Amino acid sequence: MIVGGRDTTINRWPWQAGVLSVNGFNCGGTLIDYDTVLTAAHCVHGRSSDLFTVVLGENDRDKWEGSEQYIKVDSYETHPEYKGNFLEGRDLALLHLSHNATHTAMVQSIPTLADETQIYTNEECFITGWGIAITGE
């Protein structure tokens, strides 16, 4: 669990996705291609894909900013070794969108690494999402 963090500037992380279900915001995700979002398997496992919509270009979930793109999930696949419990690992799912997202300043797929064999040490890493506000600490 990640707790804390801080607000970001608009369009700093244009690949950040929100996974919505019929009950509203469900999970975060990453736009890895203009028709595919990577998220956690526990967010979708065992439920029908037609219950999900992805929002891209979202910054502040509490207001309409005009940059949002809502795209239905056509289908999804979870990691073949995901056992239904995120504590056992392989908690990954690919959401296949009903159509491609439109590239804008606020919506872009995540850049890929040019050399996947390179080992990174002492590099900055950022975890993005909306998180939960903790008060009284």
Strand partners of residue 19: 27, 54
Tell me, what's the pLDDT at 4? Answer: 66
Distance CA 113, CA 120 (A): 11
Tell me, what's the pLDDT at 32? Answer: 94
Q: In this structure, what are the phi and psi dihedrals at residue 13, rounded to the nearest 5 degrees?
A: -125, 70
Tell me, what's the pLDDT at 92? Answer: 94
Distance CA 75, CA 49 (A): 5
Distance CA 40, CA 98 (A): 19
Tell me, what's the pLDDT at 125? Answer: 76
The sign one gets for the Cα dihedral 124, 130, 132, 136 is positive
- Tell which residue, 48, 102, 52, 93, has the closest CA to residue 72: 52
Render each residue's pLDDT in the chain as its tens digit; 137 residues: 556 677 777 788 999 999 999 888 889 999 999 999 999 999 999 999 999 999 999 987 888 888 899 999 999 999 999 988 877 889 999 999 999 999 999 999 998 765 677 777 887 877 787 665 555 44
Tell me, what's the pLDDT at 94? Answer: 97
Q: What angle do CA 106, 108, 109 make, to 5 degrees?
A: 150
Distance CA 58, CA 71 (A): 12
